[in-house]
Amino acid sequence: MLRALRAGAAGFVLKDTPPAQIVESVRRVAAGDSVLSPTVTRRLMAQAAEASADPRRETTTRRIGELAEREREVAVAVGRGQSNAQIAASLYMSVPTVKTHVSRVLAKLGLNNRVQIALLVHDAGLLDKGGGIG
């Protein structure tokens, strides 16, 4: 699952997901959102808890350091699973500005989607520290 997400998958749903939810997930991904089944989310959280001393941390921290402060704040919010509207409200910016920042983060870090941003932010240890580097 992690390998697929790191490779660029925009989501992950289990094969026992009801067909209507699969269709809705495909629509959401097509609209630019990321989708994870609740079971997948729990597995990722468990793996995240085990990986606090991840050897990728130094590399990912360095990569995140390439971002401007506002881009980093948006990246951390994406990592927390917030939508563009939620990010806009919490960071006092417009939704189009959030979209611009997300696009810049993707371009600067060579990523394909929000899931990859979230994984990178997690690997850098920013989700448990309120967004700061270190």
Give the CATH number of domain 2-123.
1.10.10.10
Query: Which is more confident, 107 or 54?
Result: 107
Q: What is the pLDDT of residue 18?
A: 85
pTM: 0.60
CB neighbours of 1 closer than 8 A, spacing ≥ 6?
A: 12, 40, 43, 44
Whether the per-residue pLDDT at 71 is higher than 90: the answer is yes
Place of tokens 């060579």: 110
Task: Determine the distance from the C-alpha atom of residue 57 to the mean position of all C-alpha atoms in its chain, rounded to a whole number.
Answer: 16
Per-residue tokens: 40: 């997948």
Phi, psi at 35, each rounded to 5°:
-135, 130
- The tens digit of pLDDT for each residue in 97-110 reads 999 999 999 999 98
So where are the chain's domains? 2-123
Q: What is the pLDDT of residue 60?
A: 72
Residues paired with residue 12 on neighbouring β-strands, in sequence order = 36
114-123 vs 57-64: helix crossing angle, rounded to 10: 120
Query: Which is more confident, 127 or 97?
Result: 97
Q: What is the pLDDT of residue 94?
A: 95
Q: CA-to-CA distance for 43 and 27, rounded, in angstroms?
A: 24
